[in-house]
Amino acid sequence: MKFKLGYKFNNKQLLETALTHRSYLNEHKGKNLTSNERLEFLGDAVLELIVSLYLFCKYPFFAEGKLTSLRAKLVQTKTLCLVSQRLKIGLQLKLSRGEKESEGAKNPSILADTFEAIIGAIYQDSDFQKTYDFVEKNLLVPSEKLFKAKLPQDYKSKFQEIVQSKGLPSPVYKVLSSYGLDHDKTFKTIVFVNKEKYAVGVDKSKQEAEQKAAKKALEKMV
Active site residue 125: no
Closest by Cα among 31, 35, 78, 72 to 52: 72
- Give CA separation, 77 vs 6, 101, 114, in Å: 22, 22, 11
Active site residue 44: yes
Q: Are 204 and 185 in contact (CB under 8 A)?
A: yes
Q: From the candidates 40, 44, 99, 208, give the one annotated as an active-site residue.
A: 44
Give the whole-angstrom CA distance, residue 117 versus residue 65. 28
Q: Are 188 and 209 in contact (CB under 8 A)?
A: yes
Q: Are 211 and 155 in contact (CB under 8 A)?
A: yes
Q: From the candidates 40, 99, 113, 116, give the one annotated as an active-site residue.
A: 116
**Residues classed as catalytic:** 44, 116
